[in-house]
Amino acid sequence: PKTDVVFLKVHKSASSTVMNILFRFGETHNLTFAFPLGGGYQLYYPRHFLARFVQGFSPQSPRRFNILCHHMRFLRPEVQKVVPSSAIYFSILRNPVQLMESSFVYYKGASAFSRVRSLEEFLSQPYHYYNPASGDRHYARNLMTFDFGFNPDGEVSPERVQLMLKAIEASFDLLLISEYFDESMVLLKEVLCWDLDSVVSFPLNSRDSSTKSPLPDSVVEKLKAWNRLDWEIYTHFNRTFWERIERDIGRERMRREVEALRQRQAELARTCLQGTGSVAPKDIKDSSLRPLQHGGARILGYNLKQGLDRELERTCRRLVTPELQYSSLLYKKQFPPQPP
């Protein structure tokens, strides 16, 4: 199994679920994480990543970490300073239309969104609300482009787009697609030589459907145009994702693998969870399993069954522990507080 991994955690793209997979694998195999200084949750995002943002890194004796997966704005030369050269780089993408709809609800407080009631209102005259100079502009335009380190307000010439896609391809071994999450996990398992249980998961940081609304076609087209750089990234890597599956796994084997993954997840859900799945935040009984609520979104969580034996309880709890709580737990393990 590969143990050195860089995951670019793109916002609102099922990346909290992927992070849970990496946290569990790292914990099980006693790997080290490149944590933000002081145990925060973001590597000084939205600034470009620098090696010195990592707890325990020093230029004099550069220490290499196994897993880098907290929110950052990608800058490869700096990332290379904190992970071994053998590390596998991957990220996950999402259709920019759904991504922006999700971002609008989640980051409602962002300057570009704070004065509008709906996405349609914003798109009717975006430059009335959007300021390219504001520090949180990236939440409102080409968010993936920004997370990959590029300018979200860059021009959209064919040459520029090609350069950007080539740069991403040169840095990343694998780009997954959140709409095909199970297929993505099978592909990830193959590339990392991990077993099935290492990539099972329950969806984390997902929204209650009551805050989701379908978008009219006219809005969809405007969203694509407004997020044109993201759209170019997404369509290109959605195509290469399927080409890779054809080449490395084949459709038939992929179908069997996905089936096995879903069966295992269903089995774990029956074993671990009360009821059939996720519940509203107010219904989560154990406060340590309550995810952070943000913006206008209602983020769902889980209740564990009572009376599980110790080993099983631990396995189940890890699967449903929200990102911030899990990150804090692992940070304290890696950097134990010094006794006074």
41: domain CATH number is: 3.40.50.300
Look at strands 88-93 and 174-177 and give their pairing.
parallel
Q: Do residues 16 and 10 lie in contact, with contact meaning Cβ atoms separated by under 8 Å?
A: no
Report percent pLDDT > 90 for the chain: 90
218 in a domain, yes or no?
yes
- H-state helical runs in 83-204: 96-106, 119-124, 126-129, 143-147, 158-171, 181-192
DSSP 3-state of 174: strand
Helix (H) or strand (E) holding 19: helix 15-28
- Say which residue the tokens 């990959």 belong to: 148
What pLDDT shows up at residue 161?
Answer: 98
Segment 259-286 shows an average pLDDT of 94
Tens digits of per-residue pLDDT, 124-168? Answer: 999 999 999 999 999 999 999 999 999 999 999 999 999 999 999
Q: 285: closest CA among 294, 276, 274?
A: 274
330 in a domain, yes or no?
no
Q: 18: closest CA among 144, 143, 199, 250?
A: 199
Distance in angstroms (rounded) separating the CA atoms of residues 138 and 146 = 6
Distance in angstroms (rounded) separating the CA atoms of residues 291 and 332 = 19
Q: Which domain holds residue 245?
A: 5-250
328 in a domain, yes or no?
no
Average pLDDT, the chain: 95
- H-state helical runs in 249-303: 251-272
Check whether 340 has a pLDDT greater than 90. Answer: no
DSSP 3-state of 54: strand
268 in a domain, yes or no?
no
Tens digits of per-residue pLDDT, 222-234? Answer: 999 999 999 999 9
CB-based burial, 72-90: b 16+ in 10 Å, e otherwise: bbbbeebbbbbbeeebbbb
What pLDDT shows up at residue 207?
Answer: 81
At 180, the pLDDT band (50, 70, 90 cuts) reads: very high
**Number of folded domains in the chain?**
1
The pTM of the full predicted model, rounded to 2 decimals, is 0.96
What pLDDT shows up at residue 247?
Answer: 97
What pLDDT shows up at residue 63?
Answer: 86
Distance in angstroms (rounded) separating the CA atoms of residues 340 and 311 = 33
257 in a domain, yes or no?
no
260 in a domain, yes or no?
no
Q: Token pair for residue 138?
A: 């990236």
279 class by beta-carbon count within 10 Å (0-12 exposed, 13-18 middle, 19+ buried): middle
305 in a domain, yes or no?
no
At 206, the pLDDT band (50, 70, 90 cuts) reads: confident
234 in a domain, yes or no?
yes
